[in-house]
Amino acid sequence: MNSIDKIVHSLQAAAKASDLAIPDENASKGIIGASLTEAAKILYPGIEEVKIEQLIKHYKQQYLTINATPSPLYQDAMQLLVKLHAKDKLLAVATGKGRQGLERVLAVSDTKHLFHLTKSSDDAKSKPHPDMLEQILQELEVKAEDALMIGDSRYDLKMAEHAGVDSIGISHGAGCLTSLNACKSRIIVHSIKELSKLIL
């Protein structure tokens, strides 16, 4: 889903409500993929725990109820998911979103039924730690060498690297091309259509 604008605007509003410096667009995009706790520590080095809690509280209010910015599926995303599901591929989500936010976007996009397992920042250590991916592999009984991570941020690709999982980076998301190229992914693609040609 293209939730970049919604995340950026929610984070900026949450920072303002928490009396923190409002991060610019590039800084806000740069933390997409990390958990909110890790994002707060990246944006505000030395931040106190009470301020992190305030920021998270305000962000969740913004993201879940106040901010109405749409988060549409990327072009060709639904078709790819449906085709992979029809081929009996095991599909999982590993996201920096909290569980409540994840369940919301799965419902809005009508994609929950296509995934065999979902993991959020409430279920595991924040990316790029491999915990989230390792949990998925264990629960789905898949070996690391048989899995593939698709990610649009350096947090995704670094997590895959740390878990010993191959990855494909996709450049139309939050991560800049330079940061994606710096990771050890198999290849960088620039659209879902290009991705589909590789994995279908």
pLDDT tens-place string over residues 81-125 = 999 999 999 999 999 898 998 999 999 999 999 999 999 999 999
Q: 83 vs 75, 78, 88, 95, 125, CA distance in Å?
A: 14, 9, 9, 22, 31
Cα distance between residue 29 and residue 122, in whole Å: 21
Q: What is the DSSP string of 20-61?
A: -PPP-HHHHHHTBTB-HHHHHHHHSTT--HHHHHHHHHHHHH
Residue 10 CA to residue 20 CA, distance in Å, equals 14
pTM: 0.86
Identify the structural domains of the chain with CATH numbers, from first to last: 4-66 (1.10.150.240), 77-199 (3.40.50.1000)
The two structure tokens encoding residue 113: 């039924």
Predicted confidence (pLDDT) at residue 135 exceeds the cutoff of 90: yes
63: β partners: none
Q: What integer pLDDT is reported at residue 33 of this predicted model?
A: 86
| 179: pLDDT strictly greater than 90 | no
The pLDDT-based confidence of 172 (bands split at 50, 70, 90) is confident
